[in-house]
Each structure stands twice: as structure tokens, then as C-alpha cells.
């Protein structure tokens, strides 16, 4: 992505938001869907912080906002994993928060025109553990030129668009939460938001008793010695794939397209090695809807994978999410959920007549409780449900749209 260097301070036109004096507004403290209110983060504006979800049940909230360390105005949740002890081997975890801006003392949503949020002290314990933070729907992010953070694209949990950025810290331990430690800091910028989502997480490569991690999110920007400001060149609102005989029909819609030269349609037969299948030039007339038809005759392969590579005029690029097409569609009488048993990702294929419709995917446990719901406005032939955090056991997948409803039993292996 294009980047340039300069020294920055507080973002132009953005205001510092102050997160203080959190109180539980609704729900059970520390549980999913608990909502905490921070009063007057800005004049006449409160912030409602909701715990959306966690990667698994081992992730717990110790404090919504630590006040005896770090910075008074920063949002500082303390999150632990596995009772402060990571097991041997590789572990990854996170807790996801939604921050919604409302009129003071109410739940009426209000918009903040422009603001920054700096993740401070994204480091490790000096041995096996490193922290990471994820922001969704950002417009740009700033790093030090010699940053120690690794950046990984992450799909938005609500839209599926590849607009999230995970900032993975090193295992090096930086003493205290120090805003001069810019090599383990990032500042992300937002505009015109009533709400957004973020994650506080970690990674470990071995057994360690230091999984109680304190995170600091200060809603302002800071001076960097040699700042690299990365402006996201594109926001992909939708990417769809459907099968029609031996044709794969791909279409996508983008917004805020900046300096994009063209899109490369990439195809893979194994989900790992991709080859160019086609090229579509970016529109210059403001129309940001695209389509491409791929003729396929690979009946020996049950699955074909597609992704888009958006290329800028200077040669930088960004990838879309991956879409899958099951070639033996004639075997799909109603719906097909696989693999079964499933561990992390459940793929659900629907009949051709259901594609392009609004389709709801519901996951129920044996007690009939709704565990997960995903609704897709224009469903592709094969969609993916994230099963991380779902406990081991038997479940029912219910897929429904105007054309009908289908049910299938699956097993979550681990």
C-alpha cells in the first residue's frame, strides 16, 4: 500500500476522546454482550463499549479499564488467557469489543466526524508471548518507519470485507506503557463513525505464566520520528461467486477506490497456489461495480478457489477474501455443510436457485439454542462460517431463504 514519511502530531481536524469512569450499563460484567458506559468521551457524547465475543471460553476480562497504570484518558482493558498460563505449543486468542457513540445519558447513536486511536505498547513478555490488536473499518494507519509490528489483513466480522488490520507485536518486552516507544505503536484513523469494532489479543509459542495482558488504546495520535502513513487504497463492500453450468460468475463492489489501476482475478485448485485467471481494469467514471466470467472445465476438481488482487498505479496491491465454488453442484440437492466433523471453518454450499438471494445461516446446539447467525444479502454458492470458539459437540445448521429451508447435522471436533 502506498506510504510516505513525515512527522505527525494530533490528526488534523480530529479531537481527542477521553475514556474515563466506566460503569456497567447492561448485561453481566465480563460476559459477552455486557455493555459499559464511558461518560462524556467528548462534549455531549458517551461511548458504549460492548463485549462482542471472544476467540474461546479461555479468554476472560479482568478489567474493562485499568486506572492505576498506563494513561488516564486511554481505554485500557485487561484480558487474560487460560487463567494467565499459556499451554505448550502455539496459542492464539482475542476479545472483540464494539465501541458505539451515543448522546450523553442515552442510547441514541451519534456520529463522530473524525478521530484517531493509538494502540500503545503492543509488545510481549520477553519470552513466549506477544500481544496483538485489530482494528476494523479504518481509513488509514500510521507506523514508525522501523516499526516492530507485523501487519496482517483481517476480514470484517460483520461484512466480510477485508478492511481489518491486525497489528502483531514482538515478543520483546517494553517497560511500562510508554508513548515514546513508537516502534510498538500504531495510530489508526476513522471518519464519520457511529460505531466500530476492535480486538485485544495475543499469541504464544510455549508455556508461560504471563497471559494477563494490559492493552492501552488512547484516542489521539502521537509524534513519530519517521512516520509512515498507510492510506487504504480501497474498501471492498462485496465479492460474490456463483456457478452457472461451467461458468463461474464473479462480481464485486468497492467504495473509496483510490489510485487503483486494475484487478487481477486469481484462481486456485488447492487454496494455496494461485494463478491469474483474468484482468479487469478499474473504472475511471466513478462506477465501482465489476464482474468477470471464468469458463471452467475442471470437473475432476471438486473445489475451485477465487480471490481478487487490487493493484495500484505504483504497483502495491491488496487481496480480497477468498471465495470457493464447488464444481460438483449437481450433488447439492439442498445444502451441503463440510468438512464434517469441522474444526475451524465450516463451508456451506447452496443450490444454484438460492444464490444471489438473502440467505440466513443459523447454528443451533442440541438444546435448540442459537449459537451463531450469519445473514448474507447476496449469497454465493459456497460461504464460510467461522467455527472458532464454538465448543466441541453436535450442532444443527439451518439454512433458509425465500426458496425454502434446509437442515443438516454437523459435529464440531475440537
Please write the tens of the pLDDT for every residue from 320-339: 778 888 876 555 546 777 78
Q: Which of 297, 326, 355 is the last residue of a domain?
A: 326
**Per-residue confidence (pLDDT) for residue 187, from 0 to 100:** 96
User: What is the pTM assigned to this prediction?
Assistant: 0.63
- 113 and 181: one domain? yes
The boundaries of the domain holding residue 401 are 332-412
337 and 284 both lie in a single domain: no
Q: Which of 201, 231, 261 is the last residue of a domain?
A: 231
Domains held by the chain: number: 3
- Residue 8 pLDDT: 33
Residues 142 and 166 both lie in one domain: yes
Q: What is the predicted pLDDT for the residue at 1?
A: 22
Residues present in the chain in total: 414
Q: Is 40 found in the same domain as 167?
A: yes
Instruction: Name the average pLDDT for the chain.
Output: 86
Q: Which pLDDT does position 57 carry in this prediction?
A: 92
Nearest to 138 by CA among 170, 116, 171, 106: 116
Can you give the CATH number for the domain in which 300 is found?
2.60.40.2060
Whole-number pLDDT of residue 284: 73
Q: Which of 186, 209, 231 is the last residue in one of the domains?
A: 231
Q: Check whether residue 149 and residue 254 sit in a common domain.
A: no
- The pLDDT, as a whole number, for residue 140 is 84
247 with 311, same domain? yes
Low-confidence ranges of the chain (pLDDT < 50): 1-13, 333
**One domain for residues 74 and 128:** yes
213 and 267 share one domain? no
> Could you tell me if 72 and 169 lie in one domain?
yes
Same domain for 150 and 254: no
**Is 259 found in the same domain as 135?**
no
pLDDT, position 9: 37
Q: In this structure, are 60 and 201 located in the same domain?
A: yes
Amino acid at each position: 500500500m502506498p506510504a510516505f514519511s513525515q512527522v505527525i502530531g494530533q490528526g488534523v481536524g480530529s479531537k481527542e476522546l477521553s475514556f474515563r469512569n466506566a460503569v456497567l450499563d447492561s448485561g453481566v460484567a465480563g460476559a459477552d454482550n455486557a455493555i459499559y458506559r464511558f461518560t462524556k468521551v467528548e462534549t455531549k457524547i458517551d461511548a458504549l463499549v460492548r463485549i462482542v465475543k471472544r476467540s474461546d471460553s479461555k479468554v476472560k476480562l479482568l478489567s474493562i479499564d485499568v486506572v492505576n497504570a498506563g494513561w488516564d484518558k486511554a481505554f485500557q482493558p485487561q484480558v487474560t488467557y487460560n487463567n494467565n498460563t499459556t499451554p505448550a505449543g502455539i496459542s492464539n486468542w482475542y476479545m472483540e469489543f464494539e465501541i458505539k457513540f451515543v448522546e450523553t445519558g442515552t442510547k441514541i447513536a451519534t456520529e463522530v466526524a473524525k478521530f484517531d486511536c493509538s494502540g500503545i505498547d503492543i509488545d510481549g513478555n520477553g519470552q513466549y508471548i506477544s500481544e496483538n490488536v485489530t482494528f476494523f473499518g479504518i481509513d488509514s494507519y500510521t507506523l514508525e518507519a522501523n516499526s516492530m509490528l507485523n501487519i496482517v489483513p483481517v476480514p470484517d466480522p460483520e461484512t466480510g470485507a477485508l478492511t481489518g488490520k491486525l497489528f502483531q507485536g514482538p515478543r520483546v518486552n517494553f517497560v511500562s506503557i510508554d508513548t515514546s516507544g513508537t516502534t510498538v505503536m500504531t495510530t489508526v484513523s476513522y471518519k464519520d463513525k457511529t460505531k466500530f469494532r476492535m480486538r485485544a489479543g495475543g499469541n504464544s509459542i510455549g508455556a508461560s505464566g504471563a497471559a494477563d495482558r494490559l492493552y492501552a488504546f488512547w484516542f489521539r495520535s502521537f509524534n513519530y520520528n519517521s512516520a509512515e502513513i498507510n492510506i487504504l487504497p480501497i474498501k471492498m463492500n462485496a465479492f460474490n461467486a456463483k456457478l452457472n453450468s461451467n461458468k463461474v460468475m464473479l462480481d464485486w463492489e468497492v467504495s473509496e477506490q483510490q489510485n487503483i489501476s486494475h484487478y487481477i482475478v486469481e484462481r486456485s485448485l488447492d487454496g494455496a497456489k494461485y494463478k491469474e485467471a483474468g484482468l479487469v481494469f478499474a473504472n475511471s467514471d466513478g462506477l465501482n461495480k465489476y464482474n468477470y466470467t471464468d469458463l471452467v472445465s475442471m470437473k475432476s476438481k471438486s473445489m475451485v478457489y477465487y480471490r481478487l488482487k487490487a493493484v495500484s498505479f505504483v504497483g502495491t496491491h491488496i487481496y480480497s477474501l477468498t471465495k470457493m465454488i464447488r464444481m460438483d453442484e449437481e450433488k447439492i440437492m439442498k445444502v451441503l455443510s463440510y468438512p464434517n466433523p469441522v474444526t475451524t471453518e465450516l463451508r456451506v454450499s447452496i443450490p444454484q436457485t438460492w444464490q444471489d438471494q438473502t440467505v440466513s445461516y443459523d447454528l443451533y446446539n442440541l438444546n435448540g439454542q442459537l449459537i451463531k447467525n450469519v445473514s448474507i444479502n447476496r449469497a454465493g454458492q459456497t460461504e464460510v462460517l467461522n467455527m472458532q470458539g464454538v465448543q466441541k459437540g453436535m450442532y444443527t445448521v439451518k439454512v433458509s431463504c425465500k426458496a425454502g429451508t434446509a437442515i443438516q447435522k454437523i459435529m464440531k471436533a475440537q
